[in-house]
Amino acid sequence: METRVDGRLVRGDQTRRAVLGKAVEIASVDGLEGLSIGRLAKELEISKSGLFAHFGSKEELQLATVRAARRIYVTAVVEPALATAPGFSRVWALSECWLDYSQRRVFPGGCFFAKASHEYGARRGPVRDYLAEVNREWVQLVEQTIGEAISLGELEADPAQLAFELNAYYDSANLASLLHDDDGAIYAQARHSIRARLESAATAGTALPWRSGRSR
């Protein structure tokens, strides 16, 4: 009996992972409103009743999709950036990892959270609240990273203002690249703009990471 139960749990977990993998792809292109249990059941060739048992409602499916996208985002952007030592280099690494994540189309529709935030920014409810929480979490990380560089004497800036500006560069590059089917020139422009802004905030004598051959 225990073996049969364990087998069902494993299969159930595999099904949920497959569903959420497909859901984040769809939502990054068609938005969270583009998700439905019926559509996912058809594309994955599994029963609607089985999918309903995993999520129960469209809203819960949407929330689970955002949570899944957050995990992917952390793996693609946050973890590699945090592998860099604190300071100016980590601020630059966050930018590099973010632009690389968008340019590689980790999500086929570009940044998942840019798409979902535009879609739900003016709405109210649990999905919008969770998206806002994820956004705050990200902005706080950028501000904290900038604050570390300031504490080390490598930057002179207002952390909140600089974080706002860096995120504006990221979002602009992501949107423009989608609109113009561009996977190179626009990101090069974004990197140039980010480098110029960070250079303007760097203190005298700060080692700039792109001078060591790590820029693009």
Longest dimension (CA), the chain: 69
At 178, the amino acid letter reads L
pLDDT of residue 11: 58
pTM of the model: 0.88
The CATH code of domain 2-204 reads 1.10.357.10
pLDDT of residue 211: 57
Report d(CA 197, CA 186) in Å as an integer. Answer: 17
Helical spans, DSSP H, in 74-158: 79-82, 88-103, 112-120, 126-151
- Intervals of the chain under pLDDT 70: 1-12, 211-216
Q: Using an 8 Å Cβ cutoff, are 20 and 64 in contact?
A: yes
pLDDT of residue 186: 95
Report d(CA 88, CA 194) in Å as an integer. Answer: 13
DSSP 8-state symbol, 155:
B
pLDDT of residue 6: 42
